[in-house]
Amino acid sequence: MLKKNYLSLFLLFNIILSFSQNRKVIELSEGWKFQKGNPENASQIEFNDTNWQNVTVPHDWAIYGPFDKEIDKQIIAITQNGEKIPTEKTGRTGSLPHIGSAWYRKSFNIHENDINKKIILQFDGAMSEPEVFLNGKKIGEWKYGYSYFYFDISEDVLKGNNLLAVKLINKEFASRWYPGAGLYRKVTLTFKEKENIKHWGTFITTPIVTKSFAKVSIKTKVSSTHGKLVTKIYDKLENLVAERESSEAFGNEFEQNIKINNPNLWSPENPYLYTAKTSLFIDNKLKDEITTKFGVRKIEFIPKKGFFLNDSLTKFKGVCLHHDLGPLGTAINRSALKRQLTILKDMGVNAIRSSHNMPSLEQLELCDEMGFLFLAESFDEWKKPKVKNGYNRFFDEYAKKDVENLVRATRNHPCIVMWSSGNEVPDQWGSEGVKRAKWLQDIFHKEDPTRPVTVGMDQVKAVMASGFGAIMDIPGLNYRVHLYEEANEKFPQGYILGSETASTVSSRGIYKFPVAQGIMKKYDDFQSSSYDLEFCSWSNLPEDDFILQDDKSWVLGEFVWTGFDYLGEPTPYDEQWPSRSSYFGMIDLAGIPKDRYYLYRSRWNTKEETLHILPHWNWKGREGKKTPVFVYTNYDSAELFVNGKSMGIQKKTKDKTPQHRYRLMWNDVIYKPGTLKVIAFNADGKAVASKEIKTAGKPYQIVLDADRKTVNADGKDISFVTVSVVDKNGVPCPTATNQLQFDVTGKGNFRAVCNGDATSLELFHKPTMKLFSGKLVVLVQSTKETGNITLKVKGKGLKSGSIQITSIKE
Ligand code: GAL
């Protein structure tokens, strides 16, 4: 009873993540106080914070804006982009107010039952340069905003009330994208006995994997040098499949080898997870218990042949992702991450690169569960700066610690198949850089001998000359498709990874004429054409990569820049205001697919049909003008009809341009309002699928479509509702820009809205926004109460729309 009471008191403001007799993990999520600035004595217990803002963590203080050109205005030449002359740049870090310092304070209670426990305080990331105080005393600090780190606070806690205070500071010129600000990832307390399994002390690998058996190796670090360790392995249905008892520790580490017969192998298609439950007994008393999910899988990189997962050749069909979640900013939200991955899965993506930093632990858990391979990256900078106040300031003191923490905190995730120690680091130049590359790679190897290490390299000539590229486990090339052959000749490894590819730019639903390829092409409306023919001076079109991927067995796969648009880096509009988020995504900032999504889907999603027509067919004023039509499809050929009249059959071919091999293009279509219809043929020339789009009339009615109509009543879950308008006949209006208003009633809240327009300065958390190319997405968040939630959307002159979502306890 007593236990129950003190638990419920504690849980009033916190979330229990796991609980067993000897160990509990609590998330410190609610009841935080927050204040920008640096008030004196904010670390002290007596400090009065009643006027501070109440927030829940994860929290991003900067996402509420306003967008302001002055925030990240700089006169610089972006040397990575090949610029030599400094010009005025804005929007590079999203133009959101993330610079400056801020404090978080939170009280928590330590019950007398816990006062003699081992208590670990962990931050999954804190942006940035956190200084942590407990009851007025500084207990530690970190620097890099993306690192996981922890402190043992057993000796510092008091019985009863405790005060945790965290100071953060973001300097200007510290990032090349929107870094977010604050305690944007979770904060946890782990309580365990003094004799225990160490924090991040478990390392599970599968050194032998065959169809008939797997050898599972489990290394467990414990606090003492004696005792007994029992590990039980359970399958997905919680059946016990194997167990091992060991009473011999090597120093403070147990090593157990356990056999699983007929293992169910983990892969993107079959993300099967086992659970290892390890119990530590000292003098036959149970002291600690930890459960770890893991997968049984085998990875091999074979020269000239490629990457093999469980003996089958697997190309990386990957995307790079920055860590922000669009309108939510960088504050981690599991349902937003899950939605991202669900959309990517539909595209046929099988791999994610966490560019250019440590991923959130939630993202890794989801990739394990949903089946994605993962390239976990660490740094965008080593010792030589890219930005004045970047990681270069911390490299010497922190790089080793940061890599160790990355590996120790995440190494049991089967999704991770490769590490990356850096991205386009300026240290690629010169012999010091080669030494640094080796030094970092050796740290990864020491911490984890089972996975290779790569670096995303853009200075390909330099790394060929210096030996930098030759020493990497996996040479990763960023762009430079024209150098793949030469690099493969010069490097000894026998394979090349497209660690970053394409950087093609587009704005959802925006098409520019005449249709032509363009490098760093700019328009007066600061949008890029969705005909998918525009790219950067250092990059290329998707097909240049496709050809290498398809024709060269030594190319391991690619990670496209990027899956989703992200805040900041508005290339090619770095010099234009307002423009504050990227154009690189195959999916826009709101999570709505652009045309390019279907181009990749047509080759990556090999199970489902893709038949996508572009552009839209609402071109008032273009009557009689050439308006090319493209079709992205997995089929080889198709016939196009305008108002029933055939425009001929197009067939994919290797004999013309790279685009002709992967897209069907009718370049001479003359625009007439009406219906565009495409009929696709299979390899035998049989008509197998068709699709049509129509010219819409005036916007008439608002239409709502939720990604999930049932949410969890945990106060965090989000339903993403796509809002669009249709004409009187129900035809979608692709150019509508109506200003809409949102109202959420019942057991939910309006959380945010986003329309994917990189130039919009409307705020994400205000319940009004303009449609962009006829669409936007409203985020409706659950409360802790079950029941119905209604989202109503209205706009001047439009028939309103509404949708009901049900919130349940899952
Ligand atoms: C790469 C870089 C990325 C991003 C991209 C844009 O060179 O690694 O972070 O800046 O260019 O094309």
What is the pLDDT averaged over residues 218-238? 96
Q: Tokens at residue 273, please?
A: 């997870």
Per-residue confidence (pLDDT) for residue 12, from 0 to 100: 53
Same domain, 617 and 668: yes
* In the predicted structure, residue 78 carries a pLDDT above the cut 90: no
Q: Tokens at residue 351, please?
A: 């791999």
Q: Report yes or no on 775 lying in a domain.
A: yes
Determine the atom of ligand 1 nearest the C-alpha atom of 582.
Answer: 6
Per-residue confidence (pLDDT) for residue 2, from 0 to 100: 41
Same domain, 676 and 770: no
Q: Report yes or no on 773 lying in a domain.
A: yes
Q: How far apart are CA 572 and CA 200, in angstroms?
A: 43
Reduced to 3 states (helix: H, G, I; strand: E, B; else coil), residue 677 is: strand
Show the domain range for 275.
Answer: 197-294
Reduced to 3 states (helix: H, G, I; strand: E, B; else coil), residue 291 is: strand
Per-residue confidence (pLDDT) for residue 780, from 0 to 100: 98
Which residue's C-alpha comes closest to atom 12 of ligand 1? 503
* In the predicted structure, residue 224 carries a pLDDT above the cut 70: yes
Same domain, 271 and 318: no
Q: Report yes or no on 330 lying in a domain.
A: yes
Per-residue confidence (pLDDT) for residue 11, from 0 to 100: 53
More confident residue, 2 or 774: 774
Q: How many CA atoms lie within 13 A of 113 on its CB side?
A: 13
Q: What is the CATH number of the domain that holds 762?
A: 2.60.40.10
Reduced to 3 states (helix: H, G, I; strand: E, B; else coil), residue 460 is: helix
Determine the atom of ligand 1 nearest the C-alpha atom of 536.
Answer: 12
Q: Tokens at residue 760, please?
A: 């919009």
CA of 584 to the centre of ligand 1 (A): 10
Q: Tokens at residue 242, please?
A: 């194997």
Determine the atom of ligand 1 nearest the C-alpha atom of 503.
Answer: 12
Report which DSSP code applies to 342: H
Q: How far apart are CA 795 and CA 740, in angstroms?
A: 5
Per-residue confidence (pLDDT) for residue 543, from 0 to 100: 98
pLDDT in tens, 437-473: 999 999 999 999 999 999 999 999 999 999 999 999 9
Residue ending a domain, choose from 694, 716, 746: 694
Q: Range with the lowest mean pLDDT among 65-79, 322-336, 702-716?
A: 65-79
CA of 79 to the centre of ligand 1 (A): 11
Q: How many domains does the chain have?
A: 5
As a whole-number percent, the residues of the chain with pLDDT over 70 amount to 98
pLDDT band at 239 (very low <50, low <70, confident <90, very high): very high
Q: Which of 119, 181, 124, 128 is nearest to 154 (CA)?
A: 119
- Beta-carbon count within 10 A of 785 CB: 13
Reduced to 3 states (helix: H, G, I; strand: E, B; else coil), residue 691 is: strand
Q: What is the CATH number of the domain that holds 172?
A: 2.60.120.260
pLDDT in tens, 191-215: 999 999 999 999 999 999 999 999 9
- Residues annotated as catalytic (active site), given as ranges: 424, 500
* In the predicted structure, residue 102 carries a pLDDT above the cut 80: yes
- Beta-carbon count within 10 A of 766 CB: 14
CA of 169 to the centre of ligand 1 (A): 25
CA 177 → CA 172, 324, 339, 505, distances in Å?
A: 12, 10, 22, 16
Q: Report yes or no on 763 lying in a domain.
A: yes
Q: How far apart are CA 589 and CA 760, in angstroms?
A: 11
CA of 177 to the centre of ligand 1 (A): 10
Q: Show the ligand 1 pocket: residues with CB < 6 angstroms.
A: 80, 356, 423-424, 456, 458, 478, 500, 503, 536, 539, 561, 569, 571
* In the predicted structure, residue 1 carries a pLDDT above the cut 90: no
* In the predicted structure, residue 10 carries a pLDDT above the cut 60: no
As a whole-number percent, the residues of the chain with pLDDT over 90 amount to 95
Identity of residue 99: I
Q: Which residue has the tokens 């994610």?
A: 352
Q: How far apart are CA 772 and CA 770, in angstroms?
A: 6
- Substitution site in 424, 457, 505, 562 for ligand 1 pocket (most atoms within 8 Å of beta carbon): 424
Task: Describe the strand order of the beta sheet including 53-55 as a list of residue ranges.
Answer: 53-55, 32-36, 100-110, 160-170, 131-134, 137-141
Q: How far apart are CA 338 and CA 321, in angstroms?
A: 14
Same domain, 175 and 238: no
Q: Report yes or no on 804 lying in a domain.
A: yes
CA of 224 to the centre of ligand 1 (A): 47
Which residue's C-alpha comes closest to atom 6 of ligand 1? 503
- Substitution site in 481, 500, 519, 571 for ligand 1 pocket (most atoms within 8 Å of beta carbon): 500
Q: 40 Cβ partners below 8 Å, 6+ apart? A: none
pLDDT in tens, 675-696: 999 999 998 999 999 999 999 9
Task: Describe the strand order of the beta sheet including 228-234 as a list of residue ranges.
Answer: 240-246, 228-234, 274-282, 285-294
CA of 532 to the centre of ligand 1 (A): 18
Report which DSSP code applies to 618: -
Q: Kindly report the backbone phi and psi dihedral angles of residue 789, in degrees, each rounded to the nearest multiple of 5, phi listed first.
A: -125, 135
> Do strands 801-808 and 710-712 pair parallel, antiparallel, or not at all (unpaired)?
parallel
CA 61 → CA 33, 98, 594, distances in Å?
A: 12, 7, 29
* In the predicted structure, residue 657 carries a pLDDT above the cut 60: yes
Determine the atom of ligand 1 nearest the C-alpha atom of 423.
Answer: 8
Residue ending a domain, choose from 639, 667, 694: 694
Q: Report yes or no on 517 lying in a domain.
A: no
Q: Which residues pair with 791 in a beta bridge?
A: 744, 803
Q: Report yes or no on 243 lying in a domain.
A: yes
Which residue's C-alpha comes closest to atom 4 of ligand 1? 561
Same domain, 152 and 263: no
- Substitution site in 561, 573, 582, 586 for ligand 1 pocket (most atoms within 8 Å of beta carbon): 561
Q: What is the CATH number of the domain that holds 456?
A: 3.20.20.80
Reduced to 3 states (helix: H, G, I; strand: E, B; else coil), residue 626 is: strand
Determine the atom of ligand 1 nearest the C-alpha atom of 569.
Answer: 10
Task: Describe the strand order of the beta sheet including 748-754 as a list of residue ranges.
Answer: 701-706, 718-726, 775-782, 748-754
Which residue's C-alpha comes closest to atom 11 of ligand 1? 503
Same domain, 209 and 183: no
Per-residue confidence (pLDDT) for residue 409, from 0 to 100: 98
Same domain, 222 and 282: yes
Same domain, 748 and 686: no
Q: How far apart are CA 185 and CA 805, in angstroms?
A: 27
Per-residue confidence (pLDDT) for residue 226, from 0 to 100: 87
Q: Which residues pair with 678 in a beta bridge?
A: 640, 691
Which residue's C-alpha comes closest to atom 3 of ligand 1? 561
pLDDT band at 20 (very low <50, low <70, confident <90, very high): confident
What is the pLDDT averaged over residues 352-377? 98
Same domain, 46 and 138: yes
* In the predicted structure, residue 190 carries a pLDDT above the cut 90: yes
Q: How far apart are CA 83 and CA 238, in angstroms?
A: 57
Query: Is the overall model pTM greater than 0.95, yes or no?
Result: yes
* In the predicted structure, residue 3 carries a pLDDT above the cut 50: no
Q: Kindly report the backbone phi and psi dihedral angles of residue 469, in degrees, each rounded to the nearest multiple of 5, phi listed first.
A: -70, -30
Same domain, 489 and 354: yes
Determine the atom of ligand 1 nearest the C-alpha atom of 356.
Answer: 9
Reduced to 3 states (helix: H, G, I; strand: E, B; else coil), residue 129 is: coil
Same domain, 353 and 494: yes
Q: Tokens at residue 372, please?
A: 């994605």
Q: Range with the lowest mean pLDDT among 83-92, 187-196, 692-701?
A: 83-92
Q: Report yes or no on 360 lying in a domain.
A: yes
CA of 81 to the centre of ligand 1 (A): 8
Residue ending a domain, choose from 142, 159, 192: 192
- Substitution site in 80, 428, 545 for ligand 1 pocket (most atoms within 8 Å of beta carbon): 80
Q: How far apart are CA 354 and CA 350, in angstroms?
A: 14
- Beta-carbon count within 10 A of 86 CB: 11
CA of 513 to the centre of ligand 1 (A): 27
For residues 180 and 62, the answer to whether their CB atoms sit within 8 Å is yes
Same domain, 552 and 655: no
Q: Which of 323, 331, 325, 327 is nearest to 32 (CA)?
A: 331
pLDDT band at 807 (very low <50, low <70, confident <90, very high): very high
Per-residue confidence (pLDDT) for residue 295, from 0 to 100: 98
Instruction: Give the chain's largest Cα–Cα span.
Output: 88
* In the predicted structure, residue 4 carries a pLDDT above the cut 60: no
Arithmetic mean of pLDDT over the chain: 96
CA of 802 to the centre of ligand 1 (A): 40
Q: Which residues pair with 416 in a beta bridge?
A: 374
